[in-house]
Amino acid sequence: MTLAPFGARLRHAMDTRGPLCVGIDPHASLLSSWGLNDDIRGLETFTRTVVEALADRVAVLKPQSAFFERFGSRGIAVLEKAVEEARAAGALVLMDAKRGDIGSTMGAYAATYLDKDSPLFSDAVTVSPYLGFGSLRSALDAARAGGAGVFVLALTSNPEGAEVQRATTADGRSLAQLMLDHMAAENEGAEPLGSVGAVVGATLGDAGADLAINGPLLAPGIGAQGATPADLPGVFGASVGNVVPSVSRGVLRFGPDVSGLRESASRFADEVRAAVSGA
């Protein structure tokens, strides 16, 4: 079955389920706070609980690949199952892998996450453009062919990112703005939303960039990192309607209680709706 373009599927999911992405980040301290051991059994229990609690109601689930990779092949098996079950329950899966390379290696990453026959096929994947935006071409092409999406790092929430992302190019644009302009070109003419998104931290205060890329804007930093839904209009301005706020610990800290996870996710989604609409 051919998938509709990711941007269209994401717009529908946000409109019907609420504009929220919940991360699945099974780091050791979070497993411990849930009363779980930092081992494969704890990983399985944690992941299964999050998927069962949220996959039928949030727009996007975002597994952080590194926290599964650290357990080797058994961890990847848990990740494969989580992706399959989350998508079956109606959530879009954004694989947070931040891959970036060149040539055939980037092509292999694209096949891993964006080929519909791959066991890790996801609705979208995060990628890094800082080997040059052209290095992403195989991922961009694979995403377009498969109805998937990519989220490209642009202005991240970590303070170290500024030394690269705010650097000035020969024509006076910041490097981040150059990347955003490339994304806008990829999304030109797409309706209702392009499938090439940008990662822009919700903690920035003022993005200081033109975010009108006709694509989704993944906004990490809501919750434990200090940003709130009320901060979104100030960071994203006229593009705030295309923001996909990403929350991890702010929701996951209410586990392992399923109702706690669901109530927290619902509360964040309602707060984002209110902030975006100006209500």
CA distance 129 to 136: 7
pLDDT band at 223 (very low <50, low <70, confident <90, very high): confident
pLDDT at 227: 87
Integer Cα distance of 200 and 47 in angstroms: 26
Range in 40-49, 86-95, 146-155, 226-235 with the lowest mean pLDDT:
226-235
Scan for tokens 């919750």, then name that residue.
Answer: 223
Backbone angles phi, psi at 215, to 5 degrees: -145, 170
Q: What was the pLDDT predicted at 264?
A: 96
pLDDT band at 276 (very low <50, low <70, confident <90, very high): confident
pLDDT of 186 strictly over 60: yes
Query: Which residue in the block uniquely carries the two structure tokens 């392992």?
Result: 256
Tokens at 42, concatenated: 């704890």
Catalytically annotated residues: 98
The arithmetic mean of pLDDT across residues 23-29, rounded, is 97
Alpha-carbon distance of 113 to 126, in angstroms, equals 10
Give kind and range of the element (H or E) at residue 17: helix 6-17
Helix (H, G, I), strand (E, B) or coil at 245: strand
Asked whether the predicted pLDDT for residue 29 surpasses 90, the reply is yes
Give the model's confidence band at 104: pLDDT under 50 very low, under 70 low, under 90 confident, else very high: very high
- Enumerate the β-bridge partners of residue 246: 21, 220
Is residue 140 over pLDDT 90?
A: yes
Per-residue pLDDT averaged across 223-227, rounded? 79
Q: Which of 159-163, 209-213, 262-266 has the lowest mean pLDDT?
A: 159-163
Q: How far apart are CA 196 and CA 6, in angstroms?
A: 9
- Taking the C-alpha atoms of residue 218 and residue 196, their distance in angstroms, rounded to an integer, is 11
Do residues 188 and 217 touch, judged by C-beta distance below 8 A? no
Cα gap 203→235, rounded to integer Å: 8
Number of C-beta neighbours around residue 238 at 10 A: 10
pLDDT value of residue 175: 97
* Calpha distance 156→242 (Å, rounded): 17
Residues 59/91, Cβ–Cβ less than 8 Å: yes
Span 244-264, average pLDDT:
96
Q: What pLDDT score was predicted for residue 226?
A: 81
Mean pLDDT in residue range 62-67: 98
In SS3 terms, 23-45 reads as EECCCHHHHHHCCCCCCHHHHHH
Asked whether the predicted pLDDT for residue 246 surpasses 90, the reply is yes
Residue with the bigger pLDDT between 276 and 211: it is 211
Counting residues of the chain whose pLDDT is more than 70, the rounded percentage is: 99
- Predicted pLDDT at 205: 84
- Three-state DSSP class for residue 158: coil
- Range 36-48 average pLDDT: 98
Count of other CB atoms within 10 angstroms of residue 181: 14
